[in-house]
Amino acid sequence: MTDTTFPIPAAAGRGPRRLAGRFPWLMAPAAVFYVVFFGWPLLQMLWSSIWSDGFTFAGYAEFFSEPVYWWVLGYTMVIGVVTLVLTLGIGYPVAYWLVGLNKTWTVVLMAFVLIPFWSSGLVRTYAWLVILGRQGLVNTTLISFGWIDEPMPFLGTHTAVLVGLTYYLLPYMILCLFSVMNNIDRNLMLAARNLGASPLRAFFAIFVPLTKPGVFAGSFLVFMLAVGMYITPALLGGPDQTTLPLVIALQINEALDWTLAAALSMILLVVSVAIQIFANRYVDFDKMWGGAR
């Protein structure tokens, strides 16, 4: 039998080895950036949570001893999950519709998705104050059609907070889904149809599994942003819509208790990271996003 293998010159492997040797130096600028602008502030926050004229765990002790903080943390997580579900339910069909359009229309309509990023989040939230107010667009429309007799109190409710968060975070979900859907070969759907699958079966058996990277990327992005959002719950919500970021801001601005505020911030960070680690046990994000094989 003829040996068809070819010898690899010794110099051929020197390039990757030389690049691997230089790789840490190439990563040095990014590492310094993350340490200075992310790592150092986190260390300062951790230090503030355990130091106040000496080592103390009073902030953590107060959190674990007060049931109200547990309720606020639970409400914050629920708000994050519900916002995730709403943005995914709205963003998935919108992204699917955008992918199927003509390229010109896709570019035009994607511009409308990006327009909210050009304005301040505070301005967008104040817009919902006008829309949902007692004399706002929603109440005026409902009264003009005779569906209600007097204005409804939308502000200061769970509905107002969820509407504001969904509107604010929906573009993030659409962009994550669109970037994945746009790279899916539609011939796979046609092949499934040729093999006898119905359009609905081909969609759920072929298309939906291929969009999982976008679904999970958008879900994590929306969830992390929702649980850390301050402006929307503060302006659109009431006392019953208090989230942990609001409590942290209250401790800093009014109570001036930096130790408790830092402890609550660390707890929120740890819970968010723990949820991500827990989800990673059941969904291999590294393989899904093209990392480890």
**What residue segments make up the domains of the chain, in order of their start?**
19-50, 64-288
CB atoms under 10 Å from CB of 118, counted, come to: 6
Between CA 30 and CA 34 the distance in angstroms is 6
pLDDT tens-digit readout, 209-255: 888 888 888 888 899 899 888 888 888 888 888 888 898 888 888 77
Residue 240 near residue 161 (C-beta atoms within 8 A): no
| pLDDT surpasses 50 at 1 | no
Compute the residue count for the chain. 293
Integer Cα distance of 78 and 212 in angstroms: 22
Other CB atoms within a 10 A radius of the CB of residue 225 amount to 16
Banded model confidence at residue 79, pLDDT cuts 50, 70, 90:
very high
Amino acid at 96: Y
The whole-number pLDDT of residue 83 equals 93
The predicted pLDDT at position 106 comes to 85
> How confident is the model at residue 41, as a pLDDT?
85
Sign of the CA dihedral 41, 223, 267, 253? positive
Dist. CA 117–CA 100, nearest whole Å: 24
What residues does 187 pair with on adjacent strands? Answer: none
- First CA to last CA across the chain, in angstroms? 34
> What span, in angstroms and rounded, lies between the C-alpha atoms of 187 and 194?
10
CB 99 within 8 A of CB 181: yes
Single pTM value for the model: 0.80
| pLDDT at residue number 84 | 92
The token pair at 147 is 């569906």
**Adjacent-strand bridge partners of 51:** 55
- pLDDT tens string 147-202: 877 888 888 888 899 999 999 999 999 999 998 888 888 788 888 888 877 888 88
Mean per-residue pLDDT over the chain, rounded: 81
Residue written as token pair 């107002």: 160
Question: Which pLDDT does position 285 carry in this prediction?
Answer: 54
pLDDT value of position 14: 52
Confidence of residue 58 (pLDDT cuts 50, 70, 90): confident
104, with CB counted inside 10 A (0-12, 13-18, 19+), is: exposed
pLDDT band at 86 (very low <50, low <70, confident <90, very high): very high
For the 64-288 domain, the top CATH level (class) is mainly alpha
